[in-house]
Structure 1
Amino acid sequence: MARRFEELEIWQEARELHRVIWGEFKECREFAFRDQIRRAALSVMNNIAEGFERRTPKDFAHFLDLAKGSCGEVRS
């Protein structure tokens, strides 16, 4: 079992998603769109971390659901 959220494979993948999104939209001139997609990608990573730190399975599941929603926002 992970002791820190950074050890979670899903958090590591979310971090990579954020890194890729940040780089891919670096030159985007549609600033509102760029900022929204970057925030959504960051939200995936942050919700996983916050849920893990809550330490109750119910809270963790809730934050994973929020992360999934943010992931859907990035995909759309």
Structure 2
Amino acid sequence: MTVRPHYKLHAWSVSMELVKIIYRWLAIFPTEEKYGLQSQMRRAAVSVPSNIAEGAARSSSKEFAYFLSVARGSLSELETQYLIATQLGMASENSQLEEHIEQASRLITGLHKKHTAPIKS
């Protein structure tokens, strides 16, 4: 099996770890949130590495930058939902989760800048 381009990206690896952290953290949510905020958070978390992977498989930097932008949007959505959940008392704050959101954000933003920067001749 050949190594896919996204496997080499640190942003993808960190985002994959973030998905695992989110799934474990959400396990303590109230049962009535199973199809509400909990479901939305899972979808947003899964969207981050999925969009990085899809973008990395595209043939141009412009396409990759587009999918990185979508991944960044999903990460912001996830962060907002995390804040809502903690402020409503559904679960306690999680420093590991917060660190992974921050790290993923920095990495995705760096990749995005790299793929949108003008080419110098």
Provide the TM-score with structure 2 as the length reference: 0.59
Runs of 4+ in 1 over 6 A off after TM superposition: none
Kindly name which structure, 1 or 2, has the bigger radius of gyration based on alpha carbons.
Answer: 2
1:3, distance to aligned residue in structure 2 (A): 5.5
Once the two structures are overlaid, the 10-residue window that deviates more, 27-36 or 2-11, is 2-11
Q: Distance in 1 between matches of 2:4 and 2:16?
A: 18
Among 26, 42, 55, which residue is 2:46 paired with?
Answer: 42
Instruction: Give the number of aligned pairs.
Output: 75
1:40, distance to aligned residue in structure 2 (A): 0.1
Which residue number in structure 2 is paired with residue 53 of structure 1? 57
Which residue number in structure 1 is paired with residue 25 of structure 2? 24
Q: Distance in 2 between matches of 1:52 and 1:4?
A: 6
Pairwise CA RMSD: 1.4
Identical-pair percentage: 39
Gaps of 5+ in 2: 81-121
1:26, distance to aligned residue in structure 2 (A): 1.2
Q: Distance in 1 between matches of 2:25 and 2:47?
A: 17
| Letter aligned with residue 20 of structure 2 | R
Q: Distance in 2 between matches of 1:55 and 1:37?
A: 30
Q: Distance in 1 between matches of 2:59 and 2:27?
A: 35
Once the two structures are overlaid, the 10-residue window that deviates more, 19-28 or 61-70, is 19-28
Gaps of 5+ in 1: none
1:55, distance to aligned residue in structure 2 (A): 2.5
Provide the TM-score with structure 1 as the length reference: 0.92
